[in-house]
Copies of this chain bind each other. A is one copy, B any other.
Amino acid sequence: MEGALRDAGVRITRQRRVLLRVLAEAEDHPDANELHRRAHALDPGLSLATVYRTLSVLEEAGVIDRHAFEGKPARFETSDRPHHDHLIDLETGAVIEFRSEKIERLQAEIAAELGYDIVHHRLELYGRRRKGKAGGNTPR
């Protein structure tokens, strides 16, 4: 992963290495502040400004994705996994991932009909746990 960056002409500094690691180990969708806090453990002195700058660099290099959910500050995640969209639990703030081949396809069709090629999109569902009987988050 560092190789890919180096090839893209991105210098590998101590702070970038740390952030890459923090991002790689993250299982959630941390925001800049949280990333700064986590990185702080491995490298005190790494500034928040650098976190922001590095996130922009990594985003442009295509190794991370930035999500701006309703209101809240931007959140990040590595883009090594396949594309997916998000469902946000309005009560707990939990972020649940999902992927719908059908929706992806429909989006492309719609854009095409309008004479456009999709560069990227944003699909976010905001909801609350269904109180009713069935359904349910099938535990793995």
Contact = CB atoms under 8 A, between A and B. Distances in A.
A35 to B, nearest CB: 20
A130 B110 contact: no
A68 interface: yes
Contacts of A127: 111, 116-119
B110 A125 contact: yes
Contact of A137 (B102, B114, B126, B130): B114
A64 to B, nearest CB: 16
Interface in A53-112: 68, 70, 87, 89-90, 96, 98, 100, 102-103, 106-107, 110-112
Interface of A: 68, 70, 87, 89-90, 96, 98, 100, 102-103, 106-107, 110-130, 135-137
25 contacts: A87-B114, A87-B116, A89-B116, A90-B119, A96-B114, A96-B116, A98-B110, A98-B114, A100-B106, A102-B106, A103-B103, A103-B110, A107-B123, A113-B135, A115-B129, A115-B130, A115-B136, A115-B137, A116-B128, A117-B127, A117-B128, A117-B129, A119-B127, A121-B124, A123-B124
